[in-house]
Amino acid sequence: MLDYLYLGLYKLVSILVKIIPATILRKMMYGLAWFAYTLSAKHRKRIHDNLDLAYDSKLSDKEKKVIGIYAFMNLLDTVFGIVKRDGIDKEKVLQDVAFEGAEIIEKYQNEGKNFILITGHYGNWELLSQAIAIKFGLKLVGVGRKIDSDVMDKILRKNREQFNVEMVYKQGAMKDSIRAINQGKVVGILTDQAIRKHQSIDVDFFSHRATHTPLASILSRKFTLDLIPAYICTKDYQNYTVKIYEPIKSLKTEYQEEDLAILTQLQADAMEDVIKKNPQQWFWMHRRWKGF
């Protein structure tokens, strides 16, 4: 029953985002984001707690409110973007996307080298994966969580796959990622969510301990693949910039645990640096530091 409700909502949103002028839609998104921030005491408290922890309680309530509203705004932009891109030409996906550091990926391609893409829930992360896959002609395999609704999960997979992005689920992600790399595909991993402690490597994140997925580090070490960080941001929710950063070089010595710890901490550092430059773009609703 819920699947039919979700499907109906998806179709309604699909119609609305395609007929409402972009300027009006952006104003509506901001209104919805403000409403969600104001109404959800649970998420508002989590956002404020995370910001207090990350910035040592130095932000004012007004600053935290602005960041919190834009955390919801980015989520809406990501979801609405999925709907808007459903069925459009690949060229149209890139028309409002600029790239910085494209030469970094192009160098790997010219040398015939594979790599692992690392990113996070920053800006419009769904657009990021699709834009990179199209721009560089990659077959990108993303690791993510299966949506609870089978109908919506099927729609999302179809949407991603039209732009050369395959999905593998977290359960069995290692096996599927190894298969993808053996097929010459690029694996993309979101690295900024807390995971179960027994499955993680601990890192320092904003000067506090946090759990971090070891998947990218394990794959990097196993296949001698460098990690390329890439993130997307926007100032106006109309034009987007994908910034590709210098690679984190693969590391393989006789000390496996130390190698993995170093590689994983470097990923956390890369994510932290990006967030500090524009905290409004990150998904502050995550329970990023849970368990500590």
Instruction: Determine the pLDDT at residue 57.
Output: 97
Instruction: Determine the pLDDT at residue 171.
Output: 79
Average pLDDT, the chain: 93
> By mean pLDDT, which of 189-203, 217-231, 256-270 is the weakest?
189-203
Query: What pTM, to 2 d.p., does this model score?
Result: 0.94
| For the chain, domain boundaries | 2-281
Question: pLDDT of 41-56, one tens digit each?
Answer: 999 999 999 999 999 9
Residue 59: band (very low, low, confident or very high) from pLDDT cuts 50, 70, 90: very high
Comparing 8 with 205, the larger pLDDT belongs to 205
| Mean pLDDT (whole number) for 228-232 | 98
Question: pLDDT of 184-209, one tens digit each?
Answer: 999 999 999 888 888 899 999 999 99
Instruction: Determine the pLDDT at residue 1.
Output: 64
Report the distance separating Cα 70 and Cα 212, nearest Å: 24
Comparing 186 with 17, the larger pLDDT belongs to 186
Residue 135: band (very low, low, confident or very high) from pLDDT cuts 50, 70, 90: very high
Residue 233 backbone phi and psi in degrees, to 5: -145, 170
Q: How large a percentage of the chain has pLDDT more than 90? A: 76
Comparing 135 with 154, the larger pLDDT belongs to 135
Residue 156: band (very low, low, confident or very high) from pLDDT cuts 50, 70, 90: confident
Instruction: Determine the pLDDT at residue 87.
Output: 85
Instruction: Determine the pLDDT at residue 198.
Output: 83
